[in-house]
Structures are given as C-alpha cells and as structure tokens.
Chains A and B, each alone.
Chain A
Amino acid sequence: MSDQSPPKTSPRIALVGNPNSGKTAVFNALTGSRQKVANYAGVTVEKKEGLFVSPAGTRVRIIDLPGTYSLRARSPDEAVTRDVVLGRMQGETIPDAIVFVADATNLKQNLRLALELRRLGRPIILALNMMDAAEKQGMAVDASELSAELGMPVVGTIAIEKGGVQGLLDQIDRTIQVAETEGWVGSQAECGWSEPSSHDLRDYHREVERILGRAVQVPPKPHGLTRKLDSVLLHPLLGLTILMLVLFLMFQGVFSWAKYPMDLIDAGLSGLNAFILDSMADGPLRSLLTDGIIAGVGTVVMFLPQILVLFLFIQLLEDTGYMARAAFLLDKLMGGVGLHGRAFIPLLSSFACAVPGVMAARVIENRADRIATIMIAPLMTCSARLPVYTLLIAAFVPNKTVLGGWVGLPGLVMFCLYAAGIVAGLLVAFVMKRTVLKGDREPLLMELPAYRMPRPKNVGLALLDRAKAFLTRAGTTIFAMMVLVWFLASFPAPPDGATDVAIRYSAAGAIGHALAPLLAPVGFNWQIALALVPGMAAREVVVGVLGTVYALSDTGEALHNSLGAVLAQSWSLSTALALLAWYVFAPQCLATLTVVRRELNSRFWPVAMFVFLTSLAYGGAYATFHISRWLLGE
C-alpha cells in the first residue's frame, strides 16, 4: 500500500476545538517535534502547522487552529479559525478534513461546535479527548451511538499517553481512503453554515442534550478534586494569598534555579574566550570575537536559563488550569482600575517579554480594554531587564538577609522593582480608562477548566519554541547590534599620545557625549547615555555595552562581577538607583513598539506609548536621583 505513488498533494487536516479541550496536546501527539510556527498572511495570529505520516503511509499536513466555542469569531484568533475552516483565509486552501477535538468530560459544552461544524459539509472526525479522565469519572460513552447520531466517526483519544492517538490515526487513514475513492470534497462543496442566532444556539444545545441522553451516561458529581482545590484556591483571602506566594516563588525560582545552568554557560564562554586568546594573535579580529561577540552575545545567552524558568512557570500555570483562576481572583481588583480579569494573562506573559504579552492581549475582545492592557504591558518588568537589575543590584545592594534572615536584601529590592512596575501600570490604566478609553468593561465569561497535571512533553515543546525564538534573536538582532557597538566603540582609534581611555575618542564616545547633557539631570554619565542607544534594539544589550564601554574582556559571571565592581567605584548610589528607576519604565524597545503597531494596526498608539514611557522613565529617574541624593547626602 505504501509503495503506491503518493497523492499529488498531501491532505490537509485542521484541528478545531474549544479552549481547554487538549487540542494542542493532540497536535503534539500527532506531530511530535515536526511542527513549525509561522504567521498567517496579513494577520498576526500564530499559525501552528505540523506534519505526520499516517499508519498507511500518507503524509498528512495538520494545522492547529485557535480554540473557540463557536465559528461566530469574537476575537482575531477566533476569526482565523472561522476563516480557515470556511476557506476564506487569504493564502490558505480550505482544509480537506476537520478533526474536532472535544473534552470527553465536558461533552455538553463541547459538542455544540461539532453540530455547527457539521454544517460545513466537510469530512469531520470527532476525537473524544481525555477519555481516561472521563472513564475515571464513571462516564460511559457509547461511541457507535454517538457516531450514528452525529453522523461522523467518533474515536477516543488520550493525547498525553503513548499510543493514545492510535485510534485517531487509523480513523484519519480510513477518512483519507474514503475520500480518495469517492473523491475529496472540492472547495466548492455546499457550505450550509451561517452565523448562528441565539435561536440556533439554543437548538444546537437541545440537540446536544438529546444526543447525549442517548449515547452518554454521566455520573451525578464529577470533578470532586477540582471543587475541593477551588474551595481553597478561589477563597477570597486564602486564594489571593496563595496567588501572591506563587508569583513570589516564581521570581525566586528565576533567580535561584537558573543559577547552576548559568554558571555552566559562563564556564563554557570563559573557556572559549581563553581558547581564542591563546590561539589568535592580538588584533582587531580577536578583539571583535572576544570583546564584541563573546562579551556581548554571550552575556545575553547567559539569561536563557532565567527566561526558560519564567516561561516554565507560565506554561505550568496555563497547563494546570490555574491561569483562569488567577484571572478570576484578580478580576474585581483589576476592575478597580478598569482592566479585565483576562488582562492578567497578557500582563503575566509580559514579565517574560512584552512582545508575546502584547500578542496575548488578543484574548480581550473589546478594543478599548485591549488598548489599555497593551499600553501597560511594557511596564511589567520583562526578563530582558533582568540582566540590568541583576548587575546593578549585585554591584550596589549589600548581600544581607533581612526580616529575621528569611529574605535576602537583593531579592527584596528586586521584588520592589517589579512591584513599582506593576503599581505604575495600574495607575496608568486607571487614568486611561477614565480619560481616553472610557466605556463599559467587556464581560467576563470564562470557563474554569478542571485542574490537570501538566505533561512534560507539552511543556517541553512549548519551552523549546521559546528557546529557539530567544536564541534566534540573540543570533541575529543582538549579534548585529553587538558587532555595530564594538565597531563604534573601537573606531576611530585614539590618536597617538592619548591620555584617556580609548573609547572616549571613538564614535560611540561622541554619541554618548552628545546625549549626556540631556541625561545629566537624572544622574546618568556619558557611558550610560551611550549604552541606552543600542538598548533600543534589545534592552539586555545594555549590560554588554557597559561591559564593552568599560573596556573589559571577561565574559559572563566574571563580566558581571568585575563590571559590577567597576560600576560600584565609578557610579554614585544615586546614579545606580536612577538607572534602576529608568529601567522600571524602560521605553527603549523597538520590538515592543513594532508589535504594538502591528497588533493595534495604528501608528498613533506606539508613538503615544513611546512618549508616555519616556516621560515616566525620565520623571522617575529624575525623582529617584534627587530624592536619594538628598537622603544619602551625596
């Protein structure tokens, strides 16, 4: 069978399902790591496409569409799902078949969409996912009855178990075989779908109840464990306390767990540096490799472990189902400043990086709510600011414990910096929602999914995506910036008989000096002014540039330690605090501004964001510098 000539084009299957149906787990189980993430033409929604070979040897292309409750499309993500399955998406051919993934423990809620999809007139396979959980709850599903009633093949899947999608794979083969003998439904197939009214939705609902009454037996009280957990985790005071503890643990984890792998990377870079120093003659190329690339890019790559730990936490919160609880707990409090509870998710992602945070704001359907969330996303301290915080705290904050030895002072300062960003963000949102973005809040209507044990494979694949994206960035944008900065800092060379450090005579020195008067009122010297320029491209570059500017050739931790020592000598404490305050607001990130422009399809908002963040940063640094000078008597 498999030695027959393959079909001209591989069949394309679309995965559709409600949010929380385990659709992505099914996608991962089918494709393994043979998947790629791209963007749909013209929109910013991520397109996840994968490839697998069916048991009969057919190469099948599969796309994972954003989760939705209906094809009515309330958000840009859901519009992608609708447009792809209807064949309206520009640049996409209509899928040959649909695999509808339903949470077997919650069929009443899930199957409405199956009925809606049935109207498309395309081959559909119903995958009852999480069959193991359904059986554990005592549910009895009569698959053949269900299949007969719905008019589509039904298979059970346990996406998280090895071999748990075998039934689905076999069914995909049968569907392909039928389609190939009878001919694929052409793209002109009759599509009976139209946007459902509330009457249609009620009809779907009644039909689902009728079908389930015949095909499924549900025990009276499922989800006992989830309810018990929720009575603690959603408790008004206990729940909020636990949420704060989770966030605190997250920050501690970022610093302590990441230390060991960071030390390893550091050792590797130092070894590489030593090797180059030993094996190459002194000259511009050696200087570029060691002072420019290893010192610059290396310092950034060092932060990969911290970023991964952060994303690990976010992924775990997402996969366990806790993220929705956090939105529930914070909705009223965030409502106080006019934000939607769901804004919690983009804002939390912004702690890793504002770019995915701004993109995650798509879950908020109302435009005014979305703009408010996006505008304050950069105020959540992103991981790119960590290198700057870490460096300055190590240099200027004594490593003591406070509060009876329970909390380290550096950790406490770090927590305060994060808190300052959050408070500033809430204030900005408060002001915006009362002035430029007035209006009722978008309703909160959100499923609280049953708690689930996160699966290493799904978490691992998600982290792999993040690591790839970060390293690509380090290898392209940051690499280019580092080479440019090294060049600017090295040329022109100092004249003969120069008395000052070489960099003062370079182009970089000239730029720093030109900007210095503007930044002098906030306590920044020309070295800082210089470092802020390439920091526009990537905030974390600032550390590398400071390293280059202060003419150090150490890498990694060694750079940190020695650069820290140099900074502690050459900066006043007030200057360090002012720079920290500046970085709480940190307007200098081109990537964020670009994604804001793309997401909101507006030139006005990114400009507004840049202006208000720069004003806040300048004002914050100015106040910090002068208050601390006054307090410290510097």
Chain B
Amino acid sequence: MSQLQERVSLASLAKGARAEIVGLDETGVPTPLEAGELERRLIEMGLVEGAKVQVLHEGFPKRDPIAVRVDDHTVALRRAEAQAVMVIPAGDEA
C-alpha cells in the first residue's frame, strides 16, 4: 500500500483520499498574512509533518473548502491554503 509516491499538495486530493503530511511550503500561496504566518497556523491546527490526514468532506461549489481528518480531530480549510501542505498519498479508503 505505501509504495514510494510523489509528493503532492493536500489541495489536489479528492474526497476519501488518505495521505501523510511530509512538509509545509507556503511559497506561492496567495494570502494576506505575513511570511511564515500561514505555516504557523497550519501547525497550530495539527497540520504538521507526520500527521495522517484524510479528506472527509468537500464543500460546494467547486468542491471547496475541504474538511480534513487530522489524527484525532477535523479541520476545515480551503484548497487555496491546502496547497501549502505537501503530502504523500496513502491510497483511498476501502
């Protein structure tokens, strides 16, 4: 199941997809926040290297925002900011 896959962003995952976070990179994400702030907020929400995530729900329209299971809790975020979360997919839920 966990063969070595390429890093993708959390924003590209579809509903049901599971993944593990391998890095945070906020460059290129449009945000009104100062540099480094988005990264800190993501960590505060538990979106940090090593966390196991699964996309549980998608908003409407354009499947945005997404609700992501992060270890023991659920976090809602937009796909725009989810671009800063790099993950390695771990296969869809059975």
Contacts and interface: CB of A to CB of B under 8 A. Distances in A.
Contacts, number: 130
Contacts of B49: 202
Interface string B9-40: 00000000000000010000011110010111
B57 A445 contact: no
A597 interface: no
Interface string B38-81: 11111111101110000011111111110100011111111011
A20 to B, nearest CB: 9
Contacts of B62: 332
A201 to B, nearest CB: 4
Q: How large is the interface on B (under 10, 10 to 19, 20 to 34, 35 or more residues)?
A: 35 or more
Contacts of A235: 57
A17 to B, nearest CB: 14
A239 B57 CA distance: 11
Contacts of A328: 57, 59, 65, 67, 76
A366 B32 contact: yes
Interface stretch (A92-100, A104-112, A262-270, A602-610): A104-112
Given A332-B60, A448-B76, A440 B44 contact: no
Nearest to A369: B32
B42 A332 contact: no
A331 B44 contact: no
Contact of A447 (B31, B45, B64): B45
Interface in A221-266: 222-223, 226-227, 230-231, 234-237, 239-240
A446 interface: yes
A630 to B, nearest CB: 38
Contacts of A70: 40, 44
B48 A202 contact: yes
A445 B77 contact: yes
Contacts of B63: 236
Contacts of B41: 74, 443, 445
Given A236-B59, A440-B32, A198 B73 contact: no
A218 interface: yes
A205 B77 contact: no
B44 A112 contact: yes
Nearest to B33: A443
A443 B84 CA distance: 12
Given A231-B57, A332-B65, A444-B81, A218 B39 contact: no
Contacts of A449: 73
Contact of A218 (B30, B65, B72, B75): B72
A74 B61 CA distance: 29
A328 B80 CA distance: 14
Interface in A431-462: 439-449
Interface string A44-81: 00000000000000000000000001101010000000
Nearest to A442: B32
A77 to B, nearest CB: 15
Contacts of A395: none
Interface in A194-209: 196-198, 201-202, 205, 209
A248 to B, nearest CB: 19
A341 interface: yes
A234 B63 CA distance: 11
A70 B64 CA distance: 27
A69 B44 contact: yes
B72 A106 contact: yes
Contacts of A578: none
A208 to B, nearest CB: 10
Contacts of B31: 440, 443
A329 interface: yes
A69 B48 CA distance: 15
Contacts of B45: 69, 109, 445, 447
Contact of B76 (A74, A105, A446): A446
B60 A329 contact: yes
B28 to A, nearest CB: 13
Contacts of A197: 36, 40
Contact of B73 (A109, A202, A440): A109
Contacts of A72: 40
Between A74, A218, A445, the greatest number of chain B beta carbons within 10 A of the residue's beta carbon is seen for A445
22 contacts: A108-B71, A109-B45, A109-B46, A109-B71, A197-B36, A205-B48, A222-B72, A226-B74, A236-B59, A236-B60, A240-B60, A329-B60, A440-B32, A443-B38, A443-B81, A444-B78, A444-B81, A445-B45, A445-B77, A446-B77, A447-B75, A448-B67
Across the A-B interface, the 8 shortest Cβ-Cβ residue pairs: A236-B60, A234-B57, A448-B74, A201-B43, A69-B44, A443-B81, A328-B76, A440-B32
